């Protein structure tokens, strides 16, 4: 049963059907990070994919760029209740990293410079739903927003879009990442309001 | 779950602490937050997260809300809601920017910018409530003396042996020889526990503040794994 707040009206600016339940529209770009910002140069950057059998594939920055970046226009949704509409990114589809990889893994752990991790179902990473993003609004992605490259999984709450991402580890069984082990959802679908476990 | 406002206290012209009785909630840890959901009479809802400023396990809970003039929820919580009114709350949430008194006696350095002092106040109050002997130090940056939360209590905590350093970015108190300015590396070197003490460091404040402070802490030699941060607000 709802508890009514006498005299509370709200702004009614949030009637946009693109807004998931419990979210409000934010025009800035808030930063939420559990520790200091990582500062990684593209010359030192590398990315590693490890399959469930232990096979690895790695990419340098130039090798990532050579995979063929694309432009992504999308809304993003943070678990702290803000959503930002119409953001513009450039990135490389995770499908291109998975291309030719022999796997039947159902889950993936994304890892980052600085030690952050987040787990996702493979079904939420493959099939044109996720990117390694390195540009925001036409400019190189700023370090405080996860630059030089972050994971971009815009259909899930934004903590799944790991900043400073540098690895994907394919897993047969799901395992909790950083926030997931602190009480946040293993999946994080904003439309189902999967905020907490 | 339902919470009832059982007390309130004005902290600054733009901030108010609300004491909430929420007996169904799991006892919170120091530094956790709750989600507050407001529902208008026609069913329209809005939800925000607020850090708890009360001690771990305290009943009633306390949140301190800063009013943002173009905000949707904060003006109602600062100027609208009254003692006796009910709210919908969820939580407690978060297990990262958290201090546990049983975690040992490693010294603790708290660094707050503006309303970011709230979850750090929860840690100070928890230290006091548990009679912990862990050394604590607080560096708290506010824009001016009128914007300092928990002023009297911080003075009392300081008298009880926690070093509290207040700094001001725009205007210092009359008669003070402090210079207004942002907290940078020099201030961190002068007014926080040194790297040799290996303190646990909790930093909470607006994005720019936390960025500058955490970069400064790394530059003076603190290990990254001892620094836990919480940021709020947009980038500029």
Q: Which two tokens stand for residue B127?
A: 């230290």
DSSP A134-194: EEETTEEPPGGGTTT-EEE-TTS-GGGS-TTEEEEEEESS----TTGGGTB-SS--GGGT-
Secondary structure tally for chain B: helices H, strands E: 5, 11
End-to-end alpha-carbon separation of chain A, Å?
Answer: 22
Section A98-105 average pLDDT: 97
In chain B, positions 87-126, which contact chain A (CB-CB < 8 Å)?
87-88, 90, 93-97
For the stretch B37-78, pLDDT in tens is 999 888 888 889 999 999 999 999 999 999 988 888 999 999
Partner-chain residue, chosen from A5, A29, A33, that has the shortest CB–CB distance to B81: A5
Partner-chain residue, chosen from A80, A144, A179, that has the shortest CB–CB distance to B235: A144
Residue among B205, B194, B58, B16 nearest A32 (CA): B205
Is the CB of residue A30 less than 8 Å away from at least one CB of chain B?
A: yes
B4's CB contacts (< 8 A; 6+ apart) are B20, B21, B22, B84, B85, B86, B87
CB contacts of B40 in chain A (<8 Å) are 4-5, 8-10
Q: Is A10 helix (H, G, I), strand (E, B) or coil?
A: coil
Is the CB of residue A66 less than 8 Å away from at least one CB of chain B?
A: no
Residues B14, B74: contact at Cβ < 8 Å? no
Is the CB of residue A4 less than 8 Å away from at least one CB of chain B?
A: yes
For the stretch A115-134, pLDDT in tens is 999 999 999 999 999 999 99
Q: Is A182 close to B95, i.e. CB distance below 8 A?
A: yes
CA of A163: how far to CAs of A11, A181, B141, in Å? 32, 18, 28
Is the CB of residue A16 less than 8 Å away from at least one CB of chain B?
A: no
Is the CB of residue A139 less than 8 Å away from at least one CB of chain B?
A: no
Other residues' Cβ atoms within 10 Å of the Cβ of residue B32 = 23
What is the set of domains in chain B, with CATH numbers?
2-93 (2.40.30.10), 101-232 (3.40.50.80)
CB contacts of B94 in chain A (<8 Å) are 182-183
Residue A113: what are its φ and ψ, rounded to 5°? -55, 135
Residue with tokens 């419990």: A22
Residues B169, B142: contact at Cβ < 8 Å? yes
Q: Is A66 helix (H, G, I), strand (E, B) or coil?
A: coil
CB contacts of A180 in chain B (<8 Å) are none
Q: How far apart are CA A155 and CA A114, in angstroms?
A: 24
Other residues' Cβ atoms within 10 Å of the Cβ of residue B207 = 22
Residue with tokens 């920017």: B97
Q: Is B39 close to A8, i.e. CB distance below 8 A?
A: yes
A141's CB contacts (< 8 A; 6+ apart) are A133, A134, A135, A147, A148, A149, A150
pTM: predicted TM-score of the whole model, two decimal places: 0.90
Q: Is A8 close to B2, i.e. CB distance below 8 A?
A: no
For the stretch B169-210, pLDDT in tens is 999 999 999 999 999 999 999 999 999 999 999 999 998 999
Say how far residue A25 (Cα) sits from the centre of its chain: 19
CB contacts of B211 in chain A (<8 Å) are 31, 37, 144
Instruction: Return the pLDDT at B235.
Output: 43
Task: State the pLDDT confidence band at B236, using cuts at 50, 70 and 90.
Answer: very low
């Amino acid at each position: 049963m709802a508890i009514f707040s006498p005299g509370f009206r709200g702004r009614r600016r949030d009637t946009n059907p693109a807004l998931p339940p419990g979210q409000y529209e934010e025009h800035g770009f808030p930063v939420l990070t559990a520790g200091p910002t990582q500062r990684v140069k593209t010359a030192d950057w590398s990315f590693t994919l490890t399959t469930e059998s232990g096979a690895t594939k790695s990419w340098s920055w130039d090798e990532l760029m050579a995979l063929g970046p694309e432009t992504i226009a999308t809304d993003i949704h943070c678990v702290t209740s803000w959503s930002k509409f119409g953001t513009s990114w450039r990135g490389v589809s995770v499908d291109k990293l998975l291309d030719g990889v022999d796997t039947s893994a159902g889950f993936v752990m994304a890892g980052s410079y600085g030690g952050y991790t987040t787990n996702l179902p493979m079904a939420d990473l493959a099939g044109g739903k996720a990117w390694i993003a390195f540009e925001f609004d036409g400019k190189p992605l700023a370090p405080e927003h996860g630059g030089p490259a972050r994971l971009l999984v815009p259909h899930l709450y934004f903590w799944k879009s790991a900043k400073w991402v540098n690895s994907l580890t394919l897993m047969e069984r799901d395992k909790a990442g950083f926030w997931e082990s602190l009480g946040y959802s293993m999946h994080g679908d904003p439309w189902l309001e999967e905020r907490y476990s | 779950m339902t919470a009832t406002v059982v007390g309130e206290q004005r902290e600054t012209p733009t901030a108010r602490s609300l004491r909430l009785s929420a007996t169904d909630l799991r006892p919170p840890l120091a530094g956790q937050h709750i989600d507050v959901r407001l529902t208008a009479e026609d069913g329209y809802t809005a939800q925000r997260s607020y850090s708890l400023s009360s001690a771990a396990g305290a009943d009633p809970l306390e949140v301190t809300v800063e009013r943002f003039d173009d905000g949707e929820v904060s003006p109602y919580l600062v100027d609208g809601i009254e003692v006796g009114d009910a709210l919908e709350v969820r939580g407690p949430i978060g297990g990262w920017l958290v201090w546990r008194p049983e975690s040992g006696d490693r010294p603790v350095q708290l660094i707050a910018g503006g309303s970011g002092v709230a979850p750090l106040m929860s840690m100070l109050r928890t230290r006091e409530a548990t009679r912990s002997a862990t050394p604590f130090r607080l560096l708290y940056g506010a824009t001016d003396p009128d914007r300092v939360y928990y002023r009297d209590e911080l003075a009392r905590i300081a008298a009880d042996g926690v070093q509290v350093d207040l700094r001001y970015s725009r205007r210092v108190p009359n008669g003070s020889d402090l210079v207004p300015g942002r907290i940078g590396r020099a201030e961190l070197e002068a007014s926080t526990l040194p790297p040799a003490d290996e303190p646990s460091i909790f930093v909470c404040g607006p994005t720019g503040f936390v960025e500058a402070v955490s970069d400064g802490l790394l530059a003076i030699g603190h290990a990254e794994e001892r620094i836990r941060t919480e940021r709020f607000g947009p980038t500029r």
